[in-house]
Amino acid sequence: MAKFMIRIATPADCADILRLIKELASYENMANAVKLTEKGFFTLIFFVADLLEDGFGEHPCYHCLIAEVPKEDQAPNGYTVVGFAMYYFTYDPWIGKMIYLEDFYVMEPYRGFGIGSEMLKRISQIAIQNRCCSMHFLVVGWNTASIEYYTRRGALDLSKQEGWHLFKFSKESLIKLASEE
């Protein structure tokens, strides 16, 4: 494979980010769980997040790296987006500032060429530059290839190491909790 490029996402990348989010969700057998749109919309109860506003608005909720490879036909922009890494900064009162890797994905035909390793390296550099003490992320339990990928690079499985359980309050639960007296 030819060269690839890792760069910071721009607002123009939202369509490709959404495409890759949907592809990752499909890979994880959760395609129906994606409610996100590029521009957002209201449903009866839920506001569906807006990639453009949430990542590139006045108060960005996430940051994103993009992996590109040259297009075979050398179209006007010359590159095809083949991977992304979405992350944000958070804080743990026990250990301090952290970076959270929300999604990390490289399209299957482009795996094994160092794209994922380079994105992970870039996120690690961003974490260090921002004085983060660690990076946290989730991996679905059946995805042994990803688990092995991360553990080979030094990641610890906290579910085994520390016995933590992941919990979630749904939007309905949040509404209920918020309205309790």
Identify whether 44 is part of a domain.
yes
Identify whether 70 is part of a domain.
yes
Identify whether 163 is part of a domain.
no
150 among known catalytic residues: yes
Q: Give CA angle at 145 (124, 163), nearest 5°.
A: 70
* DSSP-derived pairing of the beta strands 47-48 and 41-42: antiparallel
* Residue 99: domain span: 5-137
Catalytic residue, from 27, 79, 110, 150: name it: 150
Q: Tell me, what CATH number does 34's domain have? A: 3.40.630.30
- How far is the C-alpha of 134 from the C-alpha of 158, rounded, in Å? 12
pLDDT in tens, the chain (181 residues): 558 999 999 998 988 998 898 899 888 877 676 766 555 444 322 333 478 888 988 999 999 999 999 887 555 567 899 999 999 999 999 999 999 999 999 999 999 999 999 999 999 999 999 999 999 999 988 899 999 999 999 999 988 888 887 788 888 898 889 998 7
The tokens describing 39, both together, are 């521009």
Residue whose entry in the numeric block shows the structure tokens 């590159």: 79
